[in-house]
Chain A
Amino acid sequence: MDSLLPGRLVAGADVDGFRIGECIHAGGNGYLYRVSAPAGRDPGFPLVMKVPAIGRGQPSIAIVGFEIEQMILPALTGPYVPRAVATGDVVRVPYIVMEWIDGEGLAEIVKRAPLDAAEVARIGATLADALHDIHTQDVVHLDLKPENVLLRPDGRAVLLDFGFSRHAGYPDLLAEEQRFAAGSSAYVSPEQLHGVRSDVRSDIFALGVLLYELATGELPFGEPSTIAGMRDRVWREPVPPRGVKSDIPPWLQEVILHCLEPEATRRYQSAALVAFDLRHADEIGLSDRAQRTATAGFVRQVGRWWRHARERTAPLATRADARTAPVIMVAVDTENPDDERHPALQQATRKLISLEPDFRLLCVSAIRAAPLGEGDTLDETASGKHLEHIARLRQWVTPLGVAAARTSLHAVESANAVDTLLELARANHVDLIILGAPDPAQARFAWWRSVASGVTANAPCSVHVVRVPERRPE
């Protein structure tokens, strides 16, 4: 059957009720038009229609990719993807109508690279947020590159083009098209080159390439035009970012090379952890990755190639596995360091983290911002008070024996501890909050009393409430 959309559409045309406006993009893969919705179906935000280029000279992969995007985009929600409004029959009138995002293309930003470390971290963190968000919705993007990312005016990343993506709950229409299914040559992960299309860590590798590009202005593996050229990344180390640009801070190089580990098991195991590290740069534990300025010796790289040729690791699928490296937050009441609940809270935390091979531990104290307590006087300066509470947090966490690279300490002045804890939990993709139960016997903790219930009621994740066993009266 001939498509009813054989090429460019003219402004004013009507497609299933959508009125075609200006053509804002015409490329090899297709066209983007501004459109207005039919009367009564206005979703309340501006719309754009994506139409694939179909016909002679177009690879069949393009239309399969379009079909995949038609399946996956409507299933995704949240601020990190454009909202899908309508799709047209892929044979008769293939199109997707989606939210028009007024943002700056990452491709434009990349042209200004190298960027300073703080900006790289800021963009990288929102990209990692976006990836974590789709990973928890069962989707791996598999074609992350500058052309497929917009930044909203508020700085949040939006992921575009799900034509190579994989939804863990849907059949993979590209399963038998492996020779094409590898994404873009500069960003594709080693395992994708072997046809693996279900590993969330492939997106983390591509994120590493992007961070490298933003920080240095160069691509770590170039843009090879052959599969053999792409396979180099399986064993060849890129020039470390600090070897390209010496003022890149060690922590940023640590994050980038951690994302770019050729073996998926040695990479970050969750995009949430990348976001976490990029937001807590001063607390990143530095390995030897941070200091390198030249690639490894020939022998080590050949050893890596040999290992890779022999071993294949199982892909880390979406959702459940995106949480295998959880972010755990513990709320510590440093205002009352002698509270008998502290040992119980420490013990519970120790037990819970012992179950996880990889995790991040946020220790948070929400400290009173103003003298709200009865008869409390603030005789310390704000910063002095802050340092004092950080020191108490450090004292609290030290006995747990957690590597400093896995912990971060936050003393946050707050008028409302519940809101502060929930905000931190959301911003850091926290998977579990540990906190003490209120203790009705101690009236002086009235301010703290409602925190456990407030957090439990509204938390975006599981909450572990620790109570010191009641001593029954004799």
Chain B
Amino acid sequence: MRIALFADIHANIHALDACMRHARERGATRLAFLGDLVGYGADAQPVVATIAAEVAQGAVAVKGNHDEAVDESRSYFNEAAQAALAWARTSLAPEAARFLRELPLVVHDGPICFVHASAAAPERWDYIDSPAAALQCVDAAGASYTFCGHVHDQVLYFGGATGRMNAFQPKPGTAIPVRSHRRWLAIVGSVGQPRDRNPAAAYALFDATREEITFFRVTYDAQAAAARIRACGLPESLAYRVELGI
């Protein structure tokens, strides 16, 4: 079974469509959405509608901090992010807003734990930005595989012999063997707002049968996504971040 892992979609329907097509062409039979479906981008409604339809057919989805903030305003977002959230509140249909509100923070499924930020305290939205943070997360997750987002860059953490976690920078397109007797934490990268100066959308594909994970970068029409942001009157910075991948 191959599970496609999509995180930080951020209301970018152009990127999400491209990644879902890419994953299905590579045999994805199950989809998992790892939070932050909305925020920053212009197309919250089509993104949430697409994901809700997939969840109705068995896909996994968890809540991100931007999804939470649609309902409960948070002061820690910057001005541009606040503007995008305000836009999401007005553009989301009531059932889409309800879908976001009812998303779980964590989903456990056999050897896998799906979460947006850290499984250690998912509601605190802590960033996994070090092997120590990764260790806290996998200790709390209690699973062979923890898949998450929140941090927009792709990283694979793996458990070593001493019990610590080690960070590895995956090469897109390489199928990495991830045997289940070790603990693995994959930060799958951002579909809708990559920040490593490469505008290509990021996601990962986990093959549960072969115990392999492959990280991907997918080129899509970032100009179109940026044009939608401008057309909706959102701050210019959100548009060029998508165009430039920053």
Contacts and interface: CB of A to CB of B under 8 A. Distances in A.
A64 B161 contact: yes
Contact of A91 (B164, B176, B177, B181): B181
A90 B179 CA distance: 8
A115 B95 CA distance: 81
B168 interface: yes
B74 interface: no
B158 A171 contact: yes
A168 interface: yes
A176 B179 CA distance: 18
Interface residues of B, number: 15
Contacts of B177: 70-71, 170
B181 A90 contact: yes
16 contacts: A70-B177, A89-B181, A90-B181, A91-B181, A169-B170, A169-B171, A170-B168, A170-B176, A170-B177, A171-B158, A171-B168, A171-B176, A173-B158, A175-B166, A176-B161, A176-B166
Contacts of B171: 168-169
A60 interface: yes
Nearest to A176: B160
Nearest to A168: B171
Nearest to B184: A171
Across the A-B interface, the 4 shortest Cβ-Cβ residue pairs: A169-B174, A171-B168, A91-B181, A71-B177
A177 interface: yes
Interface residues of A, number: 17
A263 interface: no
B5 interface: no
Contacts of B179: 67, 70-71, 89-90
A90 B178 CA distance: 12
Nearest to B161: A60
A70 B177 CA distance: 9
Contacts of A60: 161
Interface in A120-169: 168-169
Chain B CB within 10 Å, residue with most, of A71, A173, A175: A173
Contacts of A177: 160-161
Contacts of A175: 160, 166
A175 B156 CA distance: 14
Interface in A57-94: 60, 64, 67, 70-71, 89-91
B202 to A, nearest CB: 17
Contacts of A170: 168, 174, 176-177
B57 interface: no
Given A60-B161, A176-B162, A176-B164, A169 B181 contact: no
Chain B CB within 10 Å, residue with most, of A91, A169, A171, A177: A171
Contacts, number: 38
Nearest to A175: B166
A440 to B, nearest CB: 40
Interface of A: 60, 64, 67, 70-71, 89-91, 168-173, 175-177
A169 B215 CA distance: 11
Contact of A169 (B162, B166, B176): B176
Nearest to A64: B161
A384 B46 CA distance: 79
Interface string B210-223: 00000000000000
A173 B156 CA distance: 12
Contacts of B181: 89-91
Nearest to B168: A171
Interface in B149-208: 156, 158, 160-162, 164, 166, 168, 170-171, 174, 176-177, 179, 181
A135 to B, nearest CB: 16
A173 B170 CA distance: 14
B153 to A, nearest CB: 16
A91 to B, nearest CB: 4
A67 to B, nearest CB: 7
A171 B170 CA distance: 8
Contacts of B161: 60, 64, 176-177
Contacts of B174: 169-170
B171 to A, nearest CB: 5
A91 B164 CA distance: 19
B25 to A, nearest CB: 21
A71 B179 CA distance: 9
Contacts of A176: 160-162, 164, 166
B73 to A, nearest CB: 40
B156 A171 contact: yes
Chain B CB within 10 Å, residue with most, of A169, A172, A175: A169
Contacts of A91: 181
Nearest to A1: B181
A68 to B, nearest CB: 10
Contacts of B162: 176
A170 B178 CA distance: 9
Given A91-B181, A175-B166, 12 more contacts: A60-B161, A67-B179, A70-B179, A71-B179, A90-B179, A169-B170, A170-B176, A171-B158, A171-B176, A176-B161, A176-B162, A177-B160
B148 to A, nearest CB: 17
Nearest to A60: B161
A89 B210 CA distance: 11
Nearest to B177: A71
Contacts of B170: 169
A67 B179 CA distance: 9
